[in-house]
Amino acid sequence: MQSAEQHEALLRVQGLTRVFTSRRGLSTRHLVAVDRANVTIPADRHEILTIAGESGSGKTTLARMILGLVEPSSGRLLFKDRDVSHIRNRKSRMWFRRQVQPVFQDPFATFNPLRKIESYLYETVGNYHVAPRKQADEPIDRALNAVGLSLREVKDRYPSEMSGGQLQRVSIARALITDPSLLVADEPVSMLDASLRMSVVNLFRDLKARQSVIYITHDLATAFYASDRVAIMLRGWIVELGPVQKVLGEPKHPYTQLLKSSVLEPDPRQKTSERVSLVAAEEGEFLRVGCRFADRCPHVMDICHTVEPPDVPVAGRLVKCHLYNGSLPDAKAEEVKEPSKEPALATTTAPTPV
Ligand code: SF4
């Protein structure tokens, strides 16, 4: 296998866009679920990049494009310097799928209750030609060991005989069998009990020694705990991208500030009002001219209703907001409250063995 150091970047997402079209009666509607996303995962080190946002932000569609499960409408996806935006031949698809493996949300839906768990693992070895059938135990056991299990523990068991946390570990082990360079995990802990979540999040931190991980979540606490960098999505846009300590420790974009305060706010009355402004988001925000957050933003300016905000480098991260465009006469960056005195996001659940 080629070493990651030989490539300029492990993954380059360049202007990646996905438009969904729906028909209602005689009218056709276009929804830009992901709008010109740009993200790079380096080749010279492993990292956990979290893509976070509320429901409908476009994070899952972006993840599915990176996995090759949804075709981009425009833009490019480069993996190890190869254009994988629209893979047409089987050999290239097989190469890519060995390199980039998914971990899905619901471990209970991943496994058929009537099939033995080991059958999925042997099937993966066969599908990707990892080893001959007679030698399949070795890569399976190695992958299970990486998630704290063994083939002996899994052998002859059905999904109902394992906990949700164990099943999600098996699901991750299945993804590891091909020795991928990148795992894309879409809400991998959201279906687990709170007591089991941290052990799976910790597992991803351990797996970073082997490969990079894209972690999709709406949960800022686990994002803060697990990630190196975070991209905050709003209605198809990446609105803030940078090191997690900066973006979630001292958010600059008004939307990131709102998301963070809705997680941390100790005043239950204020929490309710923040929730109201979060759920007030509608499909219409995707279509809005100017900034898609304008109707909910406490710092909105006239320009926000007419001109799309630029991506501006601010204090070690990129922020898509007019507030930081120093050339604007009515920019009021100085007036933006720094939330740095707020407590850092922290997970309160202690790691628990699955
Ligand atoms: Fe608020 Fe304007 Fe920035 Fe959008 S561009 S987040 S409306 S200040």
C-beta of 324 in contact with ligand 1 (< 6 A): no
- Helix then strand count (H, E) for the chain reads 13, 12
Please give the distance, rounded to the nearest whole angstrom, from the Cα atom of residue 323 to the centre of ligand 1: 7
Buried/exposed 66-90: b ≥16 CB within 10 Å, e otherwise: bbbebebbebebbbbeeebbebeee
Please give the distance, rounded to the nearest whole angstrom, from the Cα atom of residue 237 to the centre of ligand 1: 13
C-beta of 226 in contact with ligand 1 (< 6 A): no
pLDDT score for 290: 94
- pTM value is 0.85
Which architecture, in CATH terms, is 4-106+182-250? 3-Layer(aba) Sandwich (3.40)
pLDDT score for 199: 86
C-beta of 300 in contact with ligand 1 (< 6 A): yes
C-beta of 323 in contact with ligand 1 (< 6 A): yes
Torsion of CA 176, 178, 181, 187, to 10 degrees: -40
pLDDT score for 176: 96
Please report, for the chain, the start and end positions of each structural domain, with discontinuous segments joined by +: 4-106+182-250, 251-335
Compute mean pLDDT per 10 residues along the chain, 354 residues long, and list them: 67 96 81 95 96 92 96 96 93 94 87 94 93 92 94 95 91 95 92 82 92 94 94 96 97 95 56 41 67 94 95 96 79 43 37 32
pLDDT score for 194: 78
C-beta of 322 in contact with ligand 1 (< 6 A): yes
Answer whether 148's CB lies under 8 Å from 173's CB.
no
Cα–Cα dist 181/128, whole Å: 15
Testing ligand 1's pocket by substitution, the residue of 232, 237, 259, 291 carrying the most ligand atoms inside 8 A of its CB is 291
Nearest CA to ligand 1 atom 4: 291
Both tokens assigned to 237: 């846009």
Nearest CA to ligand 1 atom 7: 294
Q: How many CB atoms lie within 10 A of CB 222?
A: 24
